[in-house]
Structures are given as structure tokens and as C-alpha cells.
DNA sequence: ATCCCGACTG
DNA sequence: CAGTCGGGAT
């Protein structure tokens, strides 16, 4: 077999990976379905947080067919607490596309894989290399960090040019004889060794790292854009009548689409149908682009009173509501107010 | 308080 | 191409 020479960088990180890699369930398989599932979970999510979700999802939906046929609500319930819920909705759309357009066989090339919803350049390269040994370099946040430092690249990673610059470089470094291990190695290296605030003293690249030699490690990678945070107010009324709760699914575009919630008043809470009991407010809830101030009240509606149901809302039993996916903000509200009997009944079994 | 992480949408 | 989409670690 013809062997092209290995770049010193590639040799070093692959040797490092052989020593330091974590044992992770999706690294013990070549099953593209399991690898795809793990990669979607790991988008914008750290391994420690994603791991239990992977275990629950793969055992609930062992095959792409199981996932395609699952009710969306049960998928979102399993995804609860992981954030970026469009990932779960796209995951199922993609599973249905595999069944319909690929006859149930997971697509086997980068060009086909990237057609799946929720799969972009990074994820397609990851699946194509890990499952099918296609020599496509992955470029994720770890790769930006590692390459910008080792090669002292000052390209702004928020710029439109960045992806091309880093993809070309990574593609020039990937060894044809083992692209999968190279891709795993460079990301694991970014996750464990070349971290945002790294300890360079025991780094295997410390003698060749360009950023370290010029004292630019802390400044790289360069990133210009910062997201502005909008402050919003959410007032929840936990409305109970006959042991049922007034709830709705968030169907409009925006945050938490597909998740469920109590009666929500976005602005000031001046609707006072009956005597209300203040609940303990959850702490200010921070998203990347939202700062949510939340207040909540409990309202018991007399059994024989005919309440006018607001548009989009309906009555639901606590146990059915428990089985729906809810934002972490509401899970916090529930667990902070377990002295309220009906909230005990929807206390989540896990986050 | 600040930073981390991909893909889609309009 | 700028804005949107969550949650957690440090």
C-alpha cells in the first residue's frame, strides 16, 4: 500500500490520541446511525452533558427506523434539557428521509449525508470519516482552536472566509490511510489539551506551536462577533381545575418550539382571574441571546366555574404533562415549588 | 460575568 | 450574511 508521508502535526496528535482518548460508546462502533445520533447530540454540547442523552436515545430508538416512527413528543421529552430543540426535530425528519429516500440504508458518502436536515459540513465530515473512512476533514470549534494556535492563524473565525481557510488546512493535514483517527484526534486534542485556557507545559506540540512561541495562545482563535442579549419577562400562571392543568405546546417559531408550558403572560401580569398564590421564582434564566426574568403564580379555579380557555391552551393531567418536553426554566420552577401539590405530580424523573 | 459550541433561516 | 437557537462550565 502506498503511504504518503505523515505531517509531523498529524503524527503528534494521533500519537497523543492513542494515549489520551476517552472511551466513548460512539467510538466503539462503525454504525453510521449511532455515529450520526452522537454527532447531532454533540453539536453545541459537551461530551459529559450529551453522554446520558445518547444512552437513553440509542436504547429508546435502536435503529433509524425506530426513530423515524417515534412520536415527535416522546423524542422531545427525551431531548428535554439538552437545548437547541430544532436538532431533535431535524433528527427525526432526517430519519424519515433515510427511510423514504435511501430505502432505510443510511447514506454512505459526504455528498449524500449532507443532504440530511440538521447535518452541515462538520457533521457530514464526521459521519463520512468515522463510519465510512472517507478522507473529509472535520472543522468544528476544537479544530479552529487547535489549528489557529499551532499555525498562528489570525483569521477571524466569525468571518465568512474562516471555514474555507481552516478546511483547506485541515484537509492538507488529514492522512489518507486513517482519516477517522485523525479527525477524532484533533477534536479530542482540542477538548482535552488545547482548551480555551490551556496548560501548555505538558503539550506534545509545545516546541512547534507557533502561537506559544509568540505568546498568542490566549488570544487565538480570533473571534470578533459577540451576541447581544435581549432581556425578556415571562410570567407563568399554574392554573389548576379539577386536578387538570392549563397548558400548551409552543408551536410558533422562536425559542423552545415543540416544548410545553403553563399559561404564559409575556409582559406585565395583570390578568387576575382568581386569588393567586405567588410561587418561588426561578433564578434569572440565561440563554446565549436571552436573559429571562420569570415570575410565577398558582391559581386554583373552582370546580364548577366555566373558565374561558385562552387560544392554543387546553387542560391536561399532571402525568401527561410530565411526559411532555419542557424548558429547563420550567423544570426549575417545578422542582423549586414541590410544596405545591400539583407540581409534585409533574416533578421530572431526570433532567 | 464570560466563554464554549453548528446549522438553519430569511 | 446577520440573526436565531439552550444550557452548562469556568
Asked if residue A136 belongs to a domain, the reply is yes
User: Which nucleotide has the least CA–C1' distance to A83?
Assistant: C6
Last residue of a domain, one of A214, A240, A258: A214
Find and give the residue nearest to B3, measured CA to C1'.
Answer: A196
> With a 7 Å cutoff on the CB, does A42 touch strand B?
yes
- Bases on strand B under 7 Å from any protein CB: 2-10
Backbone angles phi, psi at A182, to 5 degrees: -60, -45
Peptide bond into A224 cis (omega under 30): no
Is-catalytic flag, A240? no
- Quote the number of domains for chain A: 2
Co-location of A127 and A29 in the same domain: yes
In angstroms, the CA of A196 and the C1' of B3 are apart by: 9
> With a 7 Å cutoff on the CB, does A257 touch strand C?
yes
Per-residue pLDDT at A233? 84
> With a 7 Å cutoff on the CB, does A191 touch strand C?
no
What are A184's three cell numbers? 477524532
Coil, strand or helix at A78: helix
> With a 7 Å cutoff on the CB, does A191 touch strand B?
no
CA distance A315 to A245: 5
Co-location of A58 and A191 in the same domain: yes
Co-location of A92 and A180 in the same domain: yes
Asked if residue A220 belongs to a domain, the reply is no
CA distance A51 to A30: 18
Co-location of A179 and A244 in the same domain: no
Asked if residue A150 belongs to a domain, the reply is yes
In angstroms, the CA of A286 and the C1' of B1 are apart by: 12
Run of H or E residues at A169 = helix A162-173
CB A206 within 8 A of CB A157: no
Per-residue pLDDT at A343? 85
Last residue of a domain, one of A160, A184, A214: A214
Beta-bridge mates of residue A248: A261
Q: Give the single-character DSSP code of A248.
A: E
Asked if residue A17 belongs to a domain, the reply is yes
- Bases on strand C under 7 Å from any protein CB: 1-2, 4-10
Co-location of A286 and A258 in the same domain: yes
Last residue of a domain, one of A214, A246, A274: A214
Find and give the residue nearest to B1, measured CA to C1'.
Answer: A286
310-349 on A, CB < 7 Å from strand C: 327-329
Co-location of A113 and A49 in the same domain: yes
| Domain CATH code at residue A324 | 3.90.79.10
| Domain CATH code at residue A12 | 1.10.340.30
Which of A19, A23, A39, A219 does the annotation list as catalytic? A39
Asked if residue A1 belongs to a domain, the reply is no
Per-residue pLDDT at A338? 86
70-109 on A, CB < 7 Å from strand B: 84, 86, 90
Co-location of A70 and A138 in the same domain: yes
Co-location of A186 and A65 in the same domain: yes
Per-residue pLDDT at A12? 95
CA distance A155 to A3: 32
Co-location of A179 and A272 in the same domain: no
Asked if residue A325 belongs to a domain, the reply is yes
Instruction: Provide the residue range defining the domain that includes A279.
Output: 230-345
In angstroms, the CA of A231 and the C1' of C6 are apart by: 15
Asked if residue A223 belongs to a domain, the reply is no
**Which distant-in-sequence residues (6+ apart) come within 8 Å of A225 by Cβ?**
A158
Asked if residue A331 belongs to a domain, the reply is yes
Co-location of A204 and A92 in the same domain: yes
User: Which nucleotide has the least CA–C1' distance to A119?
Assistant: B7
Instruction: Report how many helices (DSSP H) and strands (DSSP E) chain A contains, helices first.
Output: 15, 7
Backbone angles phi, psi at A120, to 5 degrees: -105, -165
Find and give the residue nearest to B5, measured CA to C1'.
Answer: A44
In angstroms, the CA of A56 and the C1' of B9 are apart by: 30
CB A346 within 8 A of CB A322: yes
| Per-residue pLDDT tens digits of chain A, which is 351 residues long | 445 789 999 999 999 999 999 999 999 999 999 999 999 999 888 888 899 999 999 999 999 999 999 998 999 999 998 888 999 999 999 999 999 999 999 999 999 999 999 999 999 999 999 999 999 999 999 999 999 999 999 888 888 788 888 999 999 999 999 999 999 999 999 999 999 888 999 999 999 999 999 999 988 998 877 667 778 888 899 999 999 999 999 888 778 888 899 998 887 655 656 677 888 887 777 777 788 888 889 999 998 888 888 888 999 999 999 988 888 888 888 888 888 888 888 875 543
Co-location of A72 and A193 in the same domain: yes
Co-location of A134 and A262 in the same domain: no
Amino acid at each position: 500500500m502506498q503511504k504518503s508521508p505523515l505531517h509531523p502535526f498529524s503524527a503528534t496528535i494521533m500519537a497523543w490520541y492513542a494515549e489520551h482518548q476517552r472511551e466513548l460508546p460512539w467510538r466503539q462502533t462503525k454504525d453510521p446511525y449511532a455515529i450520526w445520533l452522537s454527532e447531532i447530540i454533540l453539536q453545541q454540547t459537551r461530551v459529559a452533558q450529551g453522554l446520558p442523552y445518547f444512552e437513553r436515545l440509542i436504547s429508546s430508538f435502536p435503529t433509524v427506523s425506530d426513530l423515524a416512527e417515534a412520536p415527535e413528543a416522546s423524542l422531545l421529552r427525551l431531548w428535554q434539557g439538552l437545548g437547541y430543540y430544532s436538532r431533535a426535530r431535524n433528527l427525526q425528519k432526517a430519519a424519515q428521509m433515510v427511510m423514504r429516500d435511501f430505502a432505510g440504508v443510511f447514506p454512505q458518502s459526504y455528498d449524500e449525508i449532507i443532504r440530511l436536515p440538521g447535518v452541515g459540513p462538520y457533521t457530514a465530515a464526521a459521519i463520512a470519516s468515522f463510519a465510512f473512512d472517507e478522507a473529509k476533514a472535520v472543522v468544528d470549534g476544537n479544530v479552529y482552536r487547535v489549528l489557529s494556535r499551532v499555525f498562528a492563524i489570525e483569521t477571524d473565525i466569525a468571518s465568512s472566509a474562516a471555514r474555507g481557510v481552516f478546511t483547506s488546512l485541515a484537509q492538507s493535514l488529514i492522512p489518507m490511510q486513517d482519516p477517522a483517527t485523525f479527525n477524532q484526534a484533533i477534536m479530542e486534542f482540542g477538548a482535552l489539551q488545547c482548551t480555551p485556557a490551556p496548560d501548555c507545559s505538558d503539550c506534545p506540540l509545545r516546541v512547534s506551536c507557533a502561537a506559544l512561541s509568540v505568546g498568542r495562545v490566549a488570544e487565538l482563535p480570533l473571534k470578533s462577533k459577540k451576541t447581544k442579549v435581549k432581556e425578556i419577562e415571562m410570567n407563568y400562571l399554574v392554573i389548576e381545575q379539577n386536578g387538570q392543568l392549563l397548558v400548551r405546546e409552543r408551536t410558533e417559531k422562536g425559542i423552545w418550539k415543540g416544548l410545553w408550558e403553563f399559561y404564559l403572560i409575556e409582559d406585565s401580569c395583570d390578568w387576575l382571574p382568581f386569588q393567586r398564590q405567588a410561587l418561588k421564582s426561578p433564578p434569572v434564566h440565561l440563554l446565549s441571546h436571552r436573559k429571562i426574568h420569570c415570575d410565577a403564580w398558582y391559581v386554583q379555579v373552582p370546580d364548577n366555574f366555566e373558565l374561558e380557555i385562552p387560544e392554543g391552551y387546553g387542560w391536561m393531567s399532571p402525568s401527561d404533562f410530565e411526559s411532555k418536553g419542557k424548558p429547563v426554566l420550567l423544570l426549575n420552577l417545578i422542582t423549586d415549588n414541590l410544596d405545591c401539590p400539583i407540581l409534585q405530580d409533574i416533578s421530572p424523573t431526570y433532567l
